[in-house]
């Protein structure tokens, strides 16, 4: 039986039951908020029947849209056989593991997780267990999930005293700060200096191959690979976002650099709760339950790891991505969309541009694409947020100052609707600011 609550009635409940009337880190402006009832293709439909062009795409997870028939069919068939199992293998998880090992360049083996945050946390544990070293080197402004170790220098307001990490979030024990080091993204010289002094303490370098909307300079990722090899530390790619989005081989295939470990989430579960850590056999085998009792055993376990429903959704999604020419067509579409957005912004006379590559994009008021987090902070973020909020009011779902994505389900009609909304939004903020 359909629930006929209005948006205001739902928000009345949410304001009583959920912090900030939200589901976590984001809360929409009051004049642009809505409640999602369903997703169709590249669109969301609110409880009041309004349609929004969806460029959030489940934080990047729904690369082929919200209701792809192959994914829906696989999930429906699987649900009838049981929602969840624990303690032993299930056929869906095994089948997906074979697909993942086949696609991911660094993967001799994988270990399942429930989320991308779990994956990065466990990859840090594996790195520490195998190397016997306790510190992790990450990059300023990088997001590696919501666990305590990742919660340093995520949202900096000013440049750090490298390599000292800063605490940005309440509730994280200060004692953990000494286990994390930080460097500016795209700065090999600083990374090299840190490793020269601290390599005997550093277990691994953790890097997002694309850090939010910051793309690596030519040679940066290969430079990290070379420095990791030189100093005998592990290189870990956080591919929770880039995995299966940039290419079938993720950032590893797209940029031609192979890490020792890589973490995944989002697309690997086809929009369902699933992630994994992939890597060399000797590293992933640190999680082998037969090692219990050894000092190099990295315990990894979770009730929902290898969930069969998310596993079949992930396998069905990857089967679509494996179709010949998928990424060529997808990236060409994304290029066309970004170019059209840029034309509208230029015509409006706004000092903004559309940074991005492949299926990544964002609006930014700045003179050039950012090379690091300080460049992002130097942009006119309030003005970018104002444009994003206007887009929300005009029926386009983007989160203010947050990277967004294209999906293969977006159509030419979606583009037309977006361009009309962008023209109106540009006019609105030109009048306001």
pLDDT value of position 430: 86
pLDDT value of position 166: 84
Average pLDDT in the 353-360 region? 96
Distances (CA, A) of 367 to 218, 344, 364, 376: 20, 17, 9, 11
Sign, Cα dihedral of 390, 396, 402, 404? negative
Give the model's confidence band at 433: pLDDT under 50 very low, under 70 low, under 90 confident, else very high: low
238, pLDDT greater than 90 = yes
Per-position b or e across 333-365, b if 16+ CB within 10 A of its CB: bbeebbeebeebbeebebebbbbbbbbbbbbbb
105, pLDDT greater than 70 = yes
Weakest-pLDDT range from 68-72, 147-151, 279-283: 147-151
Architecture of the structural domain at 69-321 = 3-Layer(aba) Sandwich (3.40)
Average pLDDT in the 346-351 region? 96
Q: What angle do CA 170, 176, 181 make, to 5 degrees?
A: 105
User: Is the peptide bond prior to 163 cis by the omega test (within 30 degrees of 0)?
Assistant: yes
Distances (CA, A) of 271 to 62, 75, 265, 266, 316: 6, 11, 9, 6, 11
Percent share of the chain, pLDDT over 90: 87
Average pLDDT in the 29-37 region? 93
Q: Which two tokens stand for residue 287?
A: 């999680």
Give the model's confidence band at 26: pLDDT under 50 very low, under 70 low, under 90 confident, else very high: confident
234, pLDDT greater than 90 = yes
> Is the separation of the CB atoms in 111 and 297 below 8 Å?
no
Q: Over the Cα atoms of the chain, what is R_g? A: 22
pLDDT value of position 322: 98
Give the model's confidence band at 422: pLDDT under 50 very low, under 70 low, under 90 confident, else very high: very high
Percent share of the chain, pLDDT over 70: 99
1, pLDDT greater than 60 = no
The residue behind tokens 């090999």 is 188
pLDDT value of position 328: 98
Give the model's confidence band at 2: pLDDT under 50 very low, under 70 low, under 90 confident, else very high: low
Average pLDDT in the 349-360 region? 96
Q: What is the pLDDT of residues 289-299, one digit of tens each?
A: 999 988 889 99
> Is the separation of the CB atoms in 399 and 388 below 8 Å?
yes
What span, in angstroms and rounded, lies between the C-alpha atoms of 255 and 258? 9
**In the chain, where are the structural domains located?**
7-60+324-432, 69-321
Q: What is the pLDDT of residues 216-231, one digit of tens each?
A: 999 999 999 999 999 9
pTM given for the model = 0.96
Q: What is the pLDDT of residues 175-217, one digit of tens each?
A: 898 999 999 999 999 999 999 999 999 999 999 999 999 999 9
167, pLDDT greater than 90 = no
Fold classification of 7-60+324-432 (topology level): 3.90.1150
Q: What angle do CA 320, 275, 270 make, to 5 degrees?
A: 30
Residues marked as catalytic: 143, 238, 266
């Amino acid at each position: 039986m359909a629930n006929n609550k209005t948006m205001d009635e739902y928000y009345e409940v949410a304001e009583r039951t959920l912090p900030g009337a939200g589901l976590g880190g984001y809360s929409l402006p009051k004049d642009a908020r809505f409640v999602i009832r369903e997703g169709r293709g590249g669109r969301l439909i609110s409880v009041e029947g309004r349609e929004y062009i969806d460029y959030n795409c489940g934080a990047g997870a729904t690369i082929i849209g919200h209701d792809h028939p192959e994914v829906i069919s696989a999930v429906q068939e699987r649900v009838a056989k049981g929602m969840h199992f624990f303690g032993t293998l299930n056929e869906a998880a095994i089948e997906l593991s074979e697909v993942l090992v086949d696609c991911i360049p660094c993967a001799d083996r994988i270990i399942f997780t429930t989320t991308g945050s779990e994956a990065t946390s466990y990859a840090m544990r594996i790195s520490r267990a195998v190397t016997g070293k306790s510190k992790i080197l990450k990059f300023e402004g990088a997001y590696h999930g919501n666990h305590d170790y990742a919660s340093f220098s995520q949202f900096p307001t000013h440049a750090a005293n490298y390599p000292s990490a800063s605490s940005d979030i309440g509730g994280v024990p200060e004692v953990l700060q000494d286990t994390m080091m930080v460097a500016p993204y795209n700065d090999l010289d600083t990374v090299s200096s840190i490793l020269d002094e601290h390599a005997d303490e550093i277990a691994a370098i953790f890097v997002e191959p694309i850090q939010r909307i910051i793309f690596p300079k030519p040679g940066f990722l290969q430079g990290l690979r070379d420095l990791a090899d030189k100093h005998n530390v592990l290189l870990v790619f956080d591919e929770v976002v880039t995995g299966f989005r940039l290419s079938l081989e993720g950032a590893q295939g797209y940029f031609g650099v192979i890490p020792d470990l890589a973490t995944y989430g989002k697309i690997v579960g086809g929009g369902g709760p699933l992630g994994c850590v992939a890597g060399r056999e000797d590293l992933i085998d640190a999680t082998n339950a037969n090692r219990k009792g050894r000092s190099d055993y990295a315990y990894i376990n979770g009730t929902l790891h290898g969930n069969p429903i998310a596993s079949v959704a992930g396998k069905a999604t990857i089967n679509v991505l494996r179709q010949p020419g998928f990424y060529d067509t997808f990236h060409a579409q994304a290029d066309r969309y970004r170019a059209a957005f840029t034309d509208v912004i230029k015509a409006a006379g706004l000092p903004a541009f559309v940074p991005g590559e492949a299926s990544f994009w964002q609006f930014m008021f700045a003179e050039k694409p950012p090379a690091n987090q300080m460049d992002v902070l130097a942009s006119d973020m309030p003005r970018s947020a104002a444009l994003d909020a206007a887009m929300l009011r005009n029926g386009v779902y983007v989160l203010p100052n947050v990277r967004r994505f294209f999906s293969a389900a977006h159509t030419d009609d979606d583009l037309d609707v977006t361009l009309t909304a962008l023209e109106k939004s540009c006019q609105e903020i030109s009048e306001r600011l």
